[in-house]
Chains A and B, each alone.
Chain A
């Protein structure tokens, strides 16, 4: 693949834009979501949405947007439904960040928790060793190493108590 300067710029711009986007979730009555929310989102320029029907008349919509677009969408909602959490919001059973988080917590297992701590500690060690602002801070490295040791002990406990946890 031959890359021109403008193409490379375009790729970097795309990546930067994606990094600024944050996942958001709306949950509400299926009827309300279909008739009101989805058209509103289309108007706000949100094209890629993931829709999930949890049954019982509840529906969830996931989408990635940057803060500016999200704020605009919230303002539009406030105009038609009043302030967040008010009577009309309750009537529509509408939540800004929805069921997903709760469901994720229910599905959270010890393996994913263990590895998320591991990843975060690795990042701490990376900063302590490679970031110019912190590389001379010995205590920060010590903290990283202490966290690592504790993770090792936790691993041993999990291996001993729950053989098939990993």
Chain B
């Protein structure tokens, strides 16, 4: 199989990123994404009157909190 330099670079980058991915970074990336959802639901003029969107944001937050509690309980030094 022939492989170009850029393809090889991409494969290496993907593998390295996967290796670097840990539960902490995943937890915080979910948190950032939820915060953005809440920001859009509360501050974006197009969506600020949509109560359901805010509810979704809050539900995601609750789930995120539950995930944190589970991680704290199961893996003490995860963070």
Contacts and interface: CB of A to CB of B under 8 A. Distances in A.
Given A1-B4, A123-B26, A137-B74, A11 B12 contact: yes
A126 B3 CA distance: 27
A147 B63 contact: yes
Contact of B53 (A120, A124, A157): A157
Nearest to B13: A15
Interface string B31-46: 0111011011000100
B5 A109 contact: no
Q: How many residues of B sit at the interface, in one of the four size bands?
A: 35 or more
A108 B47 CA distance: 12
Interface residues of A, number: 39
Contact of A123 (B21, B34, B50): B21
Contact of B60 (A134, A137, A139, A150): A150
A127 B47 CA distance: 33
B63 A108 contact: no
A109 B9 CA distance: 31
A19 B16 contact: yes
A74 interface: no
Interface string B59-75: 11001001100100010
Contacts of A3: 8
Contacts of B12: 11-12, 15
B52 A147 contact: no
B60 A117 contact: yes
A16 interface: yes
A143 interface: yes
